[in-house]
Structure 1
């Protein structure tokens, strides 16, 4: 950049607009002033006083510009004078020629603060400027300057100052100012500058002012500078990572507690830990050893820390893989972001440190996949439960086949001696939402009775004669197989599909008594309920609310409640609290319920809604099927009733597989 500007001055190719952008505190405004001195210097380039394009710094114009009182060099704070009125005044004043010097120069500091309307007012002047006008804009955010302005100016992008350059400058200042400074203290000051020479100088000036005086000379040491900046030694973070590597959560929390009790800010600690983890990641990528080997060249440019810190970063990087360090950095970056708007910053900082320990316990996906066999025909390894599901369904359009090949559903799982590894933390939640082989395999039972989900196609079918004669029952497992075959064969002739769901979680301990006929079920189960029975009245009320608009929640509440009928009232024991009862079962829902009960012939009975929670001893009754629904027809089927009696099961869902004509 310096060479480009000097060549332009030598060749006389002067632009009328310059944009100097880059990191804060790296000399953008200073370069603008030096360029203004070079443009208005009264000594010609190549003379004895000015052999190069750089200003002579001795003429009257150079001294006035350096002092800041030159008439023809106007420096404007664009953050304050950012409106269209100020820019219009500048544009009007630009028409007049300079009072004494060759160029009239405007330096706009923080130019990105100027409004769009003000930039638009300056466009014409930038596009067709007078020969004596030069605009110089310094900014840290060049993207905020409109593209129409940038296209009319020469853009120079400044880079951050390197650590070695800042360190060398600080070392020279310390010698000239008579300050005794340790190399580690100067390294801390240079790192604190973060590429900004101005920031490093500001911190150094503050450190010198607070330094103790020995033999009439201020002395800077690393401990004093850390206390001044509110930072801690990076050896603390090295210790934390060593504890993370050893899976010692207590030590991590202990170190964090010591740092916080000492008065350190959680946000500052997280910020410093993020920088340390970044250095560890770079050390791992660059291959820096524990002794600092390989820190020269590109690796040193990437780290921008002292030699001691390079060795420390190399030691921490040797403990982990590149992927682990990257995950650590991501977690701490998120923790640092959250600390800005969290109330309990201490807790969130400690949680972020604990996450680092937990991340070490995760298995790589490659290691998990390597435990599975190659090829689909192999059996899983030990520790993985197996399950087999065979289910077929015939439709009226298909030819009937044998019962053993048509509808045979049996779910089995073996109890595994060794602990089953939890590869996914969401496996338990998935098993509650989906019915799959993994959920069946996880059940610790030997043989599981199943509940049939039956879709009736035609009228109830009489039981085949072959089923009337019971077969010898040897074991419960053989009984389950035989009954599944017989029921499946009977249902297959009518195009019924049978699926399975586990309904009990204990093995069959006694032999299952096969009823002689389908009619051998208890008469109480087969007889219709009375009109004023609790079950019938509950079904009527739930159906009425389900058919109404926006009454699904009260319907569910009444369906889950316990209904009882006395001589003069209907008592509904709900699961709702005293506060939630009138909110869930509102006046409209109660009105619809009373009307439905009145139409059912129970208008003389008083409806009483009771709050509270049902007793744990009472089993939850299945929701009554809606009259005329597919589920109601399925429950009336004699084979379904026989299956319920045989397996002591309940029908939870019915799927209609008939063709929609």
Structure 2
């Protein structure tokens, strides 16, 4: 009995209007899935290697396909299965071919995922050793009708450790009639023992121009008119994924009601902002014009721009400006001939690399805040305000260097003011003028009163006095002094001394005295460190007190008693009874 003879429950109303058309419709990603290697775009290296392998008969027994989502891993696996089993349109094919016909029974059965000898397994849902045992048992039997038995395992990285171990032996020495094709987006999670047994192919992202041509051809076949700018937006949003781009194009065709799909339609559909307006926004933020920047951000948001998309565009602008800065003529976010590209070049000339890298860091931090915020647009506003206030700050290393040298760090923007507002520009100049003058005068005054260091104690005391406590600590605990004379310092570093200690000392001595010092490192010799000397003095005092008759009598009278401290009459010094060296040196 066929379907038409089956009894119906209730009245037979017949097929719903348009039901046949709806049942036949396939999304573009499935409709235009390649059936042979000529349909793969952007994977020339893979096609060339496989073509040569099939032509010479050097076909591997296992393939590992890796790449980001939607670049064609599963499609390539099915094409390989067809190429291995195609028998030609006339049914007389005798071996694997790089150009499967697509019309023979094996080709059609594999395309429809119904061939008994080509098994696809989703490792995301079948991860255990029991699933792999089915494969191990199945490889022992010859194919039912095909030339090769092919196992396609998608997302193979999700197999358990036991499943991978169970597959190793079969994967290394499979029967001649068995081929494995693995696909994964996380190649680093696949054990090396498995990778070494496979022929690996890295499927790359599709470049935007190539993806645009592909989408344009499909739109033409579908009878859809779409602007070049709209194609560019779809291709960029897909981030190199063919499947994502086709899904977006499918959505755009359904979304648009006009005769032609415009860039504005795509922006509204994806929640994108006009890139020229995002460039304006970045320019206002970096110049401190926050009132207008926030107003423009509000307008973008009201027009449907997604805060995450705006922030991602800002990051791409910063990356593009930095590339222009370090490599003039570099291409990227804007077309090289566009007015935005010329504006970007001018803007890059006004910004320093440190300010651009700081902007990148702050926007990247803001990306996670916007993603997790209950109100993303508010998080984006706060990120832009932070960036505006920090835009004219000096580099971090300069701030640290100025503070370590005892100078005043240049002041940043007190508050971003609108461009042209009274006092905005002069205020920045005035706030920086005095600290810079102080920093310029201070080294001269210090050089005119250059200190004289007669001992390591003098040097450590001077470091403490000049706000260099870390250097004082190193001088006291990690320096075995060999020689100290004007302009020269030689020492043996302790075991835990930092590698940069000699260079740090040379720089500080030059800053403090105004003259260049020769600081050398000795391999042996040197006096005990200051910490060791201090400890030795405490130990000597402890031993001297321990030999006092009255002290010995007390200790003998009270077994287990200990000397807790040794103090002089004035109470100016103390020593623990069993002093332990707090030095980091290697002299124990």
Q: TM-score range by the shorter chain?
A: 0.5 to 0.7
Matching residue of 1:209: 254
1:328 and 2:244 are equivalent in the alignment: no
Which of 287, 310, 334 pairs up with 1:269? 310
Change (3 A) 1:389 1:96: closer
2:230 is aligned to 185
Provide structure 1 residue ranges, at least 5 long, that are not aligned to the other structure: 289-298, 393-433, 439-628, 635-654
Partner Cα separation in structure 2 for residue 282 and residue 50 of structure 1: 51
Q: Larger Cα Rg: Structure 1 or Structure 2?
A: 1
Name the CA distance, whole Å, in 2 between partners of 1:268 and 1:144: 30
Distance 1:195 1:208 in 2: 20
Does residue 149 of structure 2 align to residue 108 of structure 1? Answer: no
Q: Could you tell me how far 1:246 is from its partner in structure 2?
A: 2.9
2:273 equivalent in structure 1: 232
- Distance in 2, Cα, partners of 1:339 & 1:196: 25
Provide Cα deviations, 1:394-452, integer angstroms capped at 9, x if missing partner.
xxxxxxxxxxxxxxxxxxxxxxxxxxxxxxxxxxxxxxxx97689xxxxxxxxxxxxxx
- Give 1:89 shift: 1.2
Change (3 A) 1:174 1:307: farther
Q: Structure 1 pair 306/204, CA: closer, same or farther in 2 (3 Å)?
A: farther
Deviation at 1:213, TM superposition (A): 3.6
In the superposition, the TM-score normalised over structure 2's length comes to 0.59
Tell me if structure 1 keeps the 8 A contact 2:317–2:333.
no
Within a 5 Å distance, the mapping from 1:373-412 to structure 2 comes to 378-379=444-445
Residue aligning to 1:473: none
User: Using a 3 Å threshold, how does the CA distance of structure 1 residues 208 and 286 change in structure 2: closer, same or farther?
Assistant: farther
Q: What is the CA–CA distance in structure 2 between the aligned matches of 1:659 and 1:48, rounded to whole Å?
A: 96
2:163 maps to what in 1? 118
Decide whether aligned partners of structure 1 residues 175 and 319 sit closer, same or farther in structure 2, where only a CA change above 3 A counts.
farther
Using a 3 Å threshold, how does the CA distance of structure 1 residues 51 and 347 change in structure 2: closer, same or farther?
closer
Conserved 8 A contact 2:83-2:96: no
SS of equivalent residue, structure 1 residue 96? coil
Q: Give the secondary-structure state (helix, strand or coil) at the position aligned to 2:220.
A: helix
Counterparts of 1:322 and 1:306, CA distance in 2? 21
The equivalent position to 2:381 in structure 1, one of 350, 369, 377, is 350
Measured in 2, the distance between the counterparts of 1:195 and 1:70 equals: 31
After superposition, the Cα gap between the structure-2 partners of 1:192 and 1:233, relative to the gap in structure 1 and judged at 3 Å, is same
| CA–CA distance in structure 2, aligned partners of residues 348 and 258 of structure 1 | 16
- Structure 2: how far apart are the matches of 1:48 and 1:228? 49
Q: Distance in 1 between matches of 2:246 and 2:214?
A: 9
Structural RMSD (CA):
4.1
**Can you give the 5+ residue segments of structure 2 that lack an aligned partner in the other structure?**
1-45, 400-408, 411-434, 455-463, 469-566, 578-588
Note the 1:311-322 alignment, pairs <5 A.
311=342, 313-314=344-345, 316-322=347-353
CA contact (8 A) 1:119 1:149 kept: yes
Whole-angstrom distance in 1 between the partners of 2:342 and 2:108:
48
Moved more, 134-143 or 268-277: 268-277
> Which residue of 78, 84, 88 maps to 2:123?
78
Task: Measure the CA separation in 2 of the matches of 1:304 and 1:15.
Answer: 43
The Cα shift of 1:656 comes to 3.0
- Which residue matches 1:140? 185
Q: Within 2, Cα distance between the matches of 1:13 and 1:160?
A: 27
| 1:2 partnered with 2:47 | yes
- Asked whether the equivalents of residues 372 and 380 of structure 1 are also in contact (C-alpha less than 8 Å), the reply is no
**What does residue 38 of structure 1 align with?**
83
CA distances 1:34-62 after superposition (whole Å, capped 9, x unpaired)? 11111112249xx9999973222232222
Say which is worse superposed, 6-15 or 57-66, in terms of deviation.
57-66
Q: Which has more helix, going by share of residues?
A: 2
8 A contact 1:231–1:268 mirrored in 2: yes
Structure-2 change in CA distance of 1:280 and 1:82 (3 Å): same
Partner-residue secondary structure (3-state), 2:379? helix
Distance in 2 (CA, whole Å) between partners of 1:283 and 1:209 is 39
Map of 2:141 onto structure 1: 96
Contact 2:127 2:159 in 1 (8 A): yes
Distance 1:283 1:259 in 2: 26
Q: Provide the C-alpha distance between the structure 1 equivalents of 2:439 and 2:297, rounded to a whole number of angstroms.
A: 44
User: Which residue of 1 is the match for residue 560 of structure 2?
Assistant: none
Structure 1 segment 509-658 matched on structure 2, within 5 A:
656=572
Distance in 1 between residues matched to 2:141 and 2:282, nearest whole Å:
66
CA distance in 1, matches of 2:285, 2:208: 30
Q: Are the aligned partners of 2:129 and 2:162 in contact in 1 as well (CA < 8 Å)?
A: yes
Counterpart in 2 of 1:538? none
What is aligned with 2:372? 341
Which residue does the alignment assign to 2:73?
28
* Cα displacement (A) at 1:303: 5.0
- In the alignment, what sits opposite 1:396? none
For residues 9-44 of structure 1, give each alpha carbon's deviation from its aligned partner in whole angstroms, at most 9, with x where no partner exists.
Answer: 111112111100012111111111111111112249
Name the structure 2 match of 1:255.
Answer: 296
Contact 1:108 1:138 (C-alpha < 8 Å) held by counterparts:
yes
CA distance in 2, matches of 1:69, 1:377: 83
> Using the alignment, how far apart are the partners of 2:266 and 2:171 within structure 1?
47
Q: CA deviation at 1:282?
A: 2.7
Which moved further from structure 2: 323-332 or 198-207? 323-332
Give the 3-state SS of the residue equivalent to 2:52 in structure 1.
helix
Native 8 Å contact 1:191 1:305 kept in 2:
no
- Specify the SS of the correspondent of 2:372: coil
